Amino acid sequence: MKKTSKILALCALVSLAVAGCSSSSSDSNATATPALTGTVRIGVEAPISGDQAETGKGMINGAQLAADQLNAKGGINGKKVVIVPIDDAADAVVGVKAATAAIKAGLDGVVGPYNSGAGAKTLPLYIKAGLTPIRLTSNSTTTNGLGYTLQPMDYQIVPVATEAVTKWLKAKTAVLVFDSTPGYTATTNAKLKASLEKAGVTVKANVGITPGAKSYAAQVKAAAALNPDVVYLVMYSPQAGLIAKTMYDTKVPAKCVADYAAADPIFVTTAGIPAAKACPVIGVPSPSEFPNGPDFVSQYKAAFGEEPGTWSPYTFDSLNLLAKAAEETGGFDAKKLKANLDAVKGWEGVTGSVTIDAANGNRDPATLVVLDVTDAGALAINKAWSKAVGADY
C-alpha cells in the first residue's frame, strides 16, 4: 500500500507530459512488449488529492489494471496503453487546470471524472479537443450527453431512494441534509424532495452544509429537532460519514440514510463501523457482489495488495469499453466512437451487462442497490431492502 500511495502521489505531481506513470505494484508492465509500437494515452480524471483521495486512488488503480491486461494482450490497435492521472481534487477550478494541461500534453481518450461539479467544466474541454469521455458523473442536468457513463444517473437514483424511504422504511416524514455546492448533490436534493413529496412523504426541511467543516453538529441538531422519521444525507462520503457519526453518538432517533454520493469505503472509515452500520447507503454492489466480481477482486489484490474501491470496477469497465470501441473502429475518431458506443447492447463487463441509451449516452438499466455495512466494515447489499422492494439482488 505504501508503494502504491507514493507512486500515485508522484503521478499527481509530475508533469502530465511524462508518459507511463503506473500505480501498479508490479514491474511486469514497465516496458512495452516487442509486439507493441507506439502508445495510447488515456487520461483518468479523479480526485487524487483532497478528502476524496481514496476514491481517486481506487479509480486510477482500476483503470491501470485494465491497461495492464490490455497491454498483455497487445494493447489497443497494437499500441501500449498508458494511464495519465488527472487530479481534479473534486474541485472544478483545479479540474479545469489539470484537464487543460493533460489535453495540451496529448490524450487519446478519457475516463472520468467522478465529481459532477468538476465534470460540468472539464467534460466540455475534452469533447472540444475531439475526445470521447467515459465519465463517472451522475448529474443529468449538467453532464447528460457529455460522453458516456456506466454508472447510475440522478434520475435513476432518485426513484430507488424514494422507494427505499417509503416502501422499505415506511417513512412519513423526512429531513434532507445536503451539500449545497452546485453539482450532483444540490440537484439531487431538489429532485429527491419533489419525488418524496409526490410519494406522500412530508419533507420538513432542507438543511444545507458546506464541505470541509470539521463538525456538522449544528445541522444534525437542527434536523433532529424536527423529529423526522428519516434524515437523508445528500452529500459525498467524507461529510456523510461525519454526520452519520454525530447522529449515532448523539442518539438521534430518526433513521439515517446516506445518498449515492456517499457510497464509498471513505464513508465507513469516517463514520466508524457502528455508526455506518446504523446508516444504510443508496449505492451500487460492492466489487465482489457483481457476477464477475470475485475474479476482478482477486486480480486487483494481486496487483495492488489491497481491496478495490467502489468505483474501481467502473473505471476498469470504462477503459475496456473504450478500448473495445477503439479496436472496432480502428482508432479514436470521435464520430466513429459515438456510432459504435451508441449501439452498445448487452456488452459484459465486471459490473454486469451494459446497454447504452443512445439518446444520452447513459447506461440503462442502472446498477442500484441499498448497502449495509458488515461487522468487518465492508459495504454489502442490504438483503432486507432487496426483499422489501422485490429487487433482483
Q: What is the CATH number of the domain that holds 101?
A: 3.40.50.2300
Of 293, 257, 277, nearest to 367 by C-alpha is: 293
pLDDT in tens, 16-36: 333 333 333 333 444 445 468
pLDDT of residue 22: 36
Is the same domain home to 294 and 380?
Answer: no
Residue-wise pLDDT for 341-357, tens only, equals 999 999 999 999 999 99
CA proximity to 282, closest of 307, 256, 308, 306: 256
Pairing of strands 352-354, 347-349: antiparallel
Give the separation between CA 190 and CA 149, rounded to whole angstroms. Answer: 22
Is 158 found in the same domain as 129? Answer: no
Model pLDDT, residue 171: 98
Q: Does 151 score more than 50 pLDDT?
A: yes
pTM of the model: 0.87
Contacts for 9 with CB less than 8 Å, ≥ 6 apart: none
Do 243 and 376 belong together in one domain? yes
3-state SS, one letter per residue, for 309-339: CCCHHHHHHHHHHHHHHHHHHCCCCHHHHHH
Total count of domains within the chain: 2
The residue segments making up the domain with residue 309 are 2-151+290-360
Same domain membership, residue 313 and residue 191: no
- Count of CB atoms situated within 10 Å of the CB of 264: 27
Same domain for 38 and 100, yes or no, is yes
C-alpha grid cell, residue 148: 458516456
Residues 180, 132 share a domain: no
Residue 25 has what pLDDT?
36
Are residues 8 and 28 part of one domain? yes
Tell me what the pLDDT averaged over the chain comes to: 92
Q: Is residue 142 located within the same domain as residue 260?
A: no
Same domain, 240 and 332: no
Residue 46's CB: how many other CB atoms inside 10 A? 34
140 in the same domain as 6: yes
Query: pLDDT for 155-198, tens place per residue?
Result: 999 999 999 999 999 999 999 999 999 999 999 999 999 999 99
- Let me know whether 233 and 141 are in one domain: no
Average pLDDT over residues 261-284: 97
pLDDT-derived band at 8, boundaries 50, 70, 90: very low
Q: Find the range with the poorest average confidence among 171-180, 219-228, 278-287, 378-387.
A: 378-387
pLDDT attached to residue 390: 82
pLDDT for residue 9 is more than 80: no
Is the domain of 305 the same as that of 316? yes
